[in-house]
Amino acid sequence: MIVPDQRLPIVIATKPEDFRRGHDGLAATVQNELGLDPHSGLTVVFRSKRGDRLKILVWDGSGLVMVYKRLDEGAFTWPSVTDGVIRISRAQYEALFSGLDWRRTMVRRVRAPAAAS
C-alpha cells in the first residue's frame, strides 16, 4: 500500500470518476474541478461508479504515482455523492484501502507536549 506522509492532507473526491482516465486526466480533475494542487504532495482518492474500485493519485516529489485497487467481493464504503472533497485521516485512509468502513474509525487529536522548562 502507498502510505502518505502524516503531515500532508488526504482527501476523497466524492463524485465518481471515469476510470479510463490516467495520471494526467486525474491530475487535471484535481486542479480544475477540485481546485487543489496535484503536485503539492496531497493524496487524492477517487471512486468508481460501481464503488468496488478506487484510484489514488499522489505526487511523491519526483512524479505522479497512481494506485488502482479493485475488491474481489463487495464494495468500498464511500461518502455521499456530491461535488468536492472530504478530508480524512491516515487511519481512515488505511481502513478505506483495506475495504473496511472508514467512517467507524475514531480520530483522536493529541496535543503536542509542552516543552520541558
The tally of domains found in the chain comes to 1
pLDDT of residue 111: 76
pLDDT of residue 67: 94
> In this model, does residue 116 exceed pLDDT 70?
no
> In this model, does residue 117 exceed pLDDT 60?
no
pLDDT tens for 17-75 read: 999 999 999 999 999 999 999 999 899 999 999 999 999 999 888 899 999 999 999 99
Parent domain of 85 = 10-104
Residue appearing with cell numbers 519526483: 62
Residue 2 domain-assigned? no
> In this model, does residue 113 exceed pLDDT 90?
no
Q: What is the pTM of this model?
A: 0.82
Residue 73 domain-assigned? yes
Residue 109 domain-assigned? no
CA of residue 111 relative to chain centroid, distance: 25
